[in-house]
Structure 1
Amino acid sequence: MIFGPTPVAEARGAVLVHTVRLPGRVIKKGTVLDEGALEALIAGGRTEVTTARMEPGDVPENEAAHRIAEAMTVPLVARSRAVTGRVNLLAETPGLMVVDPALIDRINAIDESLTIATLPNHTPVAARDMLATIKVIPFAVPGPVMAVAEAMLRSGRALRLHPFRPLKVGLVLTELPGIKDSVMQGAVEATEERVKGLYGTLLPPETCRHEEGAVAEALSRLRRAGAELLLIAGASAVVDRRDVGPAAILRAGGRIEHFGMPVDPGNLICLGQIAGTPALVLPGCARSPKLNGFDWVLQRIFAGLPVTARDVMGMGVGGLLKEIELRPLPREQAAKSPAPAQTPRRGRKVAALVMAAGRSRRMAPLNKLLVPDAKGVPMIVRVVEQALASHARPVIVVTGHEHERIEEALSGRGVLFAHAEDFSEGLSASLRAGLAAVPPDSEGVMVCLGDMPLVTGAMMDRLIAAFDPEEGRRIAMPTCRGKQGNPMLWSRDLIPEMMQVTGDVGARHLAGKHADAVVEVEMADDAVLRDFDTTESMKALPGA
Structure 2
Amino acid sequence: MTKHGLTSTLREVPVEEAIGMVLAHDLTQIIPGQFKGRLFRKGHRITHEDIPKLLDIGKAHIYAIELAEDEIHEDDAALRMARALQGDNTVLTDPYEGKVSIKSQIHGLAQIHKPTVDAINGLGDIALATIKTNTVVQPGQSLAATRVIPLITKQSKMEEVERLSAALRNPKSQADQAVIQVRPFIKHRVGLITTGSEVFHGRIQDKFGPVVRAKVEAFGSEIVEQRFVTDDLVKIVTEISYLRQQMCDMILLTGGMSVDPDDRTPGAIRQAGAEIIRYGTPMLPGSMLLMGYLEGIPILGLPGCVMHDPFTSFDVLLPRILAGDVIEEQDIIDMGYGGLIGC
Short-chain TM bin: 0.7 to 0.9
**Higher relative CO (CA 8 A, sep ≥ 6), structure 1 or 2?**
2
Identity, in percent, stands at 23
Larger Rg over CA atoms: 1
Q: TM-score, normalised by structure 1?
A: 0.53
State how 1:69-108 maps to structure 2 within 5 Å: 69-108=82-121
Shift of 1:139: 2.3
Where does 1:373-452 land on structure 2 (aligned, <5 Å)?
A: none
Q: Secondary structure at the match of 1:138?
A: coil
Gapped regions of structure 1 (runs ≥ 5): 325-544
Question: Which of 79, 84, 94 is 1:66 aligned to?
Answer: 79
Distance 1:48 1:303, change over 3 A: closer
Cα deviation, 1:192-231, whole Å, max 9, x if unaligned, reads 0100111100122100011211111111121222311111
Name the SS of the counterpart of 1:75 in structure 2.
coil
Which piece of structure 1 moves more, 147-156 or 31-40?
31-40
Query: Structure 1 residue aligned with 2:269, among 231, 239, 249?
Result: 249
Counterpart mapping for 1:418-497 below 5 A:
none
The match for 1:218 among 223, 228, 239 is: 239
* Structure 2 residue 42 is the aligned partner of structure 1 residue 21: no
1:42 positional shift: 8.6
Matching residue's letter, 1:305: D
Structure 1 residue 291 corresponds to structure 2 residue 306 = no
Q: Give distance in 2, aligned partners of 1:182 and 1:188.
A: 16
CA contact (8 A) 2:274 2:292 kept: yes
* Maintained 8 Å contact 2:195/2:265: no
In structure 2, C-alpha distance between the alignment counterparts of 1:36 and 1:304, rounded to whole Å: 53
Decide whether the 8 Å contact of 1:16 with 1:33 is kept in 2.
no
Residue-pair matches, total: 318
Q: Which residue among 219, 233, 238 is the counterpart of 1:198?
A: 219
Question: SS where residue 263 of structure 1 aligns?
Answer: coil
> What secondary structure sits across from 1:204 in the alignment?
strand
For residues 231 and 37 of structure 1, do their structure 2 counterparts lie closer, same or farther at Cα, with a shift above 3 Å needed?
same
Say yes or no: does 1:164 pair with 2:164. Answer: no
Q: Which residue of 2 aligns with 1:208?
A: 229
2:327 to 296, 307, 315: 307
1:27/1:37 contact within 8 Å kept: no
Does residue 43 in structure 1 map to residue 64 in structure 2? no
| Aligned partners of 1:94 and 1:125 also within 8 Å | yes
Within a 5 Å distance, the mapping from 1:171-186 to structure 2 comes to: 171-177=192-198, 185-186=206-207
> For 1:15 and 1:182, how far apart are their aligned partners in 2?
77
Q: Which runs of 5+ in 2 are unaligned?
A: 169-177
- Give the TM-score of the pair, scaled to structure 2: 0.81
Q: Secondary structure at the match of 1:271?
A: strand
CA distance 1:207–1:298, change in 2 (3 Å): same
Q: 1:43 aligns to what SS in structure 2?
A: coil
Task: Write out per-residue CA displacement over residues 222-270 of structure 1, whole angstroms, 9 at most, x where no aligned residue.
Answer: 1222311111101x43339x96212112222222121111111111111
Q: Does 1:260 align with 2:273?
A: no
Residue of structure 2 aligned with 1:137, choices 149, 157, 170:
149
Q: CA deviation at 1:33?
A: 5.2
Question: In structure 1, how many angstroms separate the alpha carbons of the residues matched to 2:81 and 2:127?
Answer: 10
Match of 1:386 in 2: none
Cα separation, 1, equivalents of 2:136 and 2:119: 24
Determine if contact 1:59/1:140 at 8 Å carries over to the other structure: yes
8 A contact 1:6–1:48 mirrored in 2: no
- Structure 1 residues 308, 183: CA separation in 2 closer, same or farther (over 3 Å shift)? farther
Structure 2 CA distance for partners of 1:180 and 1:16, relative to 1, 3 Å: farther
What secondary structure does 2:150 align onto?
coil
Correspondence for 2:293: 273
Once the two structures are TM-superposed, the CA of residue 180 in structure 1 deviates from its matched residue by 9.4
Instruction: Measure, in 2, the Cα distance between the counterparts of 1:42 and 1:5.
Output: 25
Supply the distance in 2 between the matched residues of 1:179 and 1:17 (Cα, whole angstroms).
Answer: 76
User: How far 1:119 sits from its partner (Å)?
Assistant: 1.1
**Any idea what SS the aligned residue of 2:298 has?**
strand
Over 6 Å off, 4+ runs: 3-7, 46-49
Mean CA deviation greater in 154-163 or 22-31: 22-31
SS at match of 2:341: coil
Deviation at 1:22, TM superposition (A): 4.4
Give the Cα separation in 1 of the matches to 2:202 and 2:309: 18
